[in-house]
Amino acid sequence: MDLDTSLLHQTGMMMEILPHGASYWVGDGFPVRNLFPSNGLGNARLSPFLLLDYAGPARFEPSEKPRGVEVHPHRGFETVTIAYQGSVAHRDSSGASGVIRPGDVQWMTAASGVVHEEMHDPEFSRAGGDFEMIQLWVNLPKADKMSPPKYQTLESSKIPVLPFGAQGFLRVIAGDYEGNQGAATTFTPVGVYDVELQAGDQDTLTLNPAYNTMLFLRSGEVTLNGEQKFAGEAMLALVPRGVSEVKIEAGKASKFVVLTGEPIDEPVAQHGPFVMNTREELVQAFRDFQSGKMGQLPTKG
């Protein structure tokens, strides 16, 4: 039987609502507010997700030199970048490259290791403008951490869009939502849904009760299960494990992202850009990067 609002109230299964944690710059192109892990949430509550940064909204003045994050490595996980405003150009040591623009998504599986850079697209840099993006880190199971790297540019037109509420929508970036398969192919069973509602809209979000689930509110005001207010900008709501439905009512125009995934019941050893299972594997990752085994970026023409 699905959990309804009265049962949630009776069992005390209210959602934990948290503001963003630390604020900092990533390179010189991404002013971010970190939703986790800087707010103290542990791996057991987040898994398979590792990090969520909200970049912007921010205004950049025109510049001939693109801003961003210069060459750096990753191993053992995936990075997911959702673009709302502005554009970012990516290239990596596997030979992959691409530009994401508003509505697009970049899904990079670092796995055994890549060296890459993420820079404002030159066209955006020269013109300047508003910038808003999300970057999510998704862990990989031990069995997949040393798989070959993979890169996916998910154009907005290829992402399934479903009606949600009378005037809103739900984009299925990854995972399956009520029989609709997302655009990304993933190693780890996850759902990433991008949702917008208009004032007065209401609908019910269906979930896998065995997954860890959270709602990231970019902006707006919604009521959860008829009784819990969720409002502001850069806020996180943790859905209790075992919940299969969440009723959402929008008090004003609202934008949020649903992150849901099967927990990975394995040790996590993380240092900087590497996420493995043991300290020894981290040491090896640093050695492999320093010795050039993760490759190099080609010289720009």
pLDDT in tens, 55-95: 999 999 999 999 999 999 999 999 999 999 999 999 999 99
For the chain, which domains are there? 5-290 (2.60.120.10)
Q: Is the pLDDT of residue 6 over 90?
A: no
- Residue with tokens 């796995």, as numbered in its chain: 111
Tell me the pLDDT of the chain averaged across its residues. Answer: 93
φ and ψ at 290, to 5 degrees? -65, -30
Number of residues that make up the chain: 301
268 pLDDT higher than 60: yes
Measure the CA–CA gap between 8 and 190, rounded to whole angstroms. Answer: 24
Which residue, 123, 64, 58, is CA-closest to 85? 58
| pLDDT of 7 | 36
Q: Please give the Cα distance from 230 to 215 (Å, whole number).
A: 10
> For position 13, what pLDDT does the model report?
66
pLDDT tens per residue, range 98-151: 999 999 999 999 999 999 999 999 999 999 999 999 999 999 999 999 999 999
pLDDT score at 14: 86
- Residue 240 neighbours by CB distance under 10 Å: 16
Are residues 99 and 9 in contact, defined by beta-carbon separation less than 8 angstroms? no
Rounded Cα gap, residues 101 and 139, in angstroms: 25
% of the chain at pLDDT higher than 90: 90
Contact 231, 251 (CB under 8 A): yes
Q: Which of 205, 263, 260, 210 is nearest to 230 (CA)?
A: 205
Under the banding of pLDDT at 50, 70 and 90, the label for residue 2 is very low
Separation of alpha carbons 211 and 49, rounded Å: 11
Give the mean pLDDT of 2-17: 53
Phi (first) and psi of residue 219, to 5 degrees: -165, 155
Where does residue 47 rank: exposed (0-12), middle (13-18), buried (19+ CB within 10 A)? Answer: buried
Q: What is the dihedral of CA 13, 19, 22, 27, to 10 degrees?
A: 110
User: Each residue of 168-203: pLDDT tens digit?
Assistant: 999 999 999 999 999 999 999 999 999 999 999 999
Task: Give the pLDDT mean for 234-242.
Answer: 96
Average pLDDT over residues 238-245: 95
Q: Over 90: is that where the pLDDT of 4 sits?
A: no
- Whether residue 102 contacts residue 78, with contact meaning beta carbons closer than 8 Å, is answered with no
Half-sphere exposure of 280 (CA within 13 A, CB side): 0
Does residue 301 surpass a pLDDT of 80?
no
